[in-house]
A and B are shown apart, each in its own frame.
Chain A
């Protein structure tokens, strides 16, 4: 079955960097793009962008340009999210989600369990 398994919780200080991984299984990794979604504590879902897993080209939402980098380890069927120069407001759960064309419509059909990042001095 399709699974997206994310890395564990992280506790970081402001100014540090963090890398979150999302390992896919149960399908051909390079056939489907991967989205990243942020959920701050008690808040809603916010789309961060996506990465074409075939070409490696990332696309970032406006609020996530600069300190955020999407990357791939295609041989390991893994997508990564790196956040540099961490700020308190980066404290959140970060989800990866597979893009799937469901009867002609793009959806996010499979989600990772979420990776918690806490930024605190």
Chain B
């Protein structure tokens, strides 16, 4: 089974700051990686697909990148509405979510 190791578990940052969340895959998953945002009491929403592509309607301050088996989600200028929990999801073999990163405003 493919494991996804996500870090950090929690993150506190100031408005307009750059934020980066990472997921490390236990094996090669190519670009079969998506990122989701979950706000309190809500369902997850797709942000990034194919490791680097922005989903429709997602603000351009969100971006995804890949280096080997490490994947990153970057928020270039943190906004209040970005608070929530972020998850990576691999879809190369079955599905595995990362453990989540709780993002708060400092």
A111 to B100, CA, bound (A): 18
Task: Please indicate the chain A residues that have their CB under 8 angstroms from the CB of B36 in the complex.
Answer: 45, 108
Task: Please indicate the chain A residues that have their CB under 8 angstroms from the CB of B34 in the complex.
Answer: 105, 107-108
Whether B43 and A111, one on each chain, are in contact in the complex, defined by CB atoms closer than 8 angstroms, is: yes
Question: Nearest-CB distance from B76 to chain A (Å)?
Answer: 22
Q: Is the interface of A mostly helix, strand, loop or mixed?
A: strand
Residue in B closest to A43 when the chains form the complex, CB atoms: B100
Whether B100 and A45, one on each chain, are in contact in the complex, defined by CB atoms closer than 8 angstroms, is: yes
Residue in B closest to A62 when the chains form the complex, CB atoms: B1
Q: Say yes or no: A106-B32 contact (C-beta < 8 A), given A45-B97, A62-B1.
A: yes
Whether B49 and A103, one on each chain, are in contact in the complex, defined by CB atoms closer than 8 angstroms, is: yes
A95 to B45, CA, bound (A): 12
Task: Please indicate the chain B residues that have their CB under 8 angstroms from the CB of A44 in the complex.
Answer: 85, 87, 97-100
Range of interface residues on B (Cβ < 8 Å): 20 to 34
A-B contact count (CB 8 A): 65
Whether B43 and A105, one on each chain, are in contact in the complex, defined by CB atoms closer than 8 angstroms, is: no
Task: Please indicate the chain B residues that have their CB under 8 angstroms from the CB of A45 in the complex.
Answer: 36, 38, 44, 87, 89, 97, 100
A104 to B50, CA, bound (A): 8
A-contact 0/1 string along B61-78, CB 8 Å cutoff: 000000000000000000
Residue in B closest to A96 when the chains form the complex, CB atoms: B43
Whether B49 and A113, one on each chain, are in contact in the complex, defined by CB atoms closer than 8 angstroms, is: no
- Does A47 touch B at the CB level, under 8 Å? yes
Task: Please indicate the chain B residues that have their CB under 8 angstroms from the CB of A111 in the complex.
Answer: 43-45
* A and B contact pairs by CB, cutoff 8 A, 26 listed: A44-B97, A45-B38, A45-B97, A47-B89, A47-B94, A47-B95, A50-B95, A59-B94, A62-B1, A95-B43, A97-B43, A102-B46, A102-B50, A103-B49, A105-B32, A105-B34, A105-B49, A105-B53, A107-B46, A107-B91, A108-B36, A109-B55, A111-B43, A111-B45, A112-B43, A113-B43
Q: Measuring CB to CB, which residues of chain A are less than 8 angstroms from any residue of chain B?
A: 35, 37, 44-47, 50, 59, 61-62, 95, 97, 102-109, 111-114
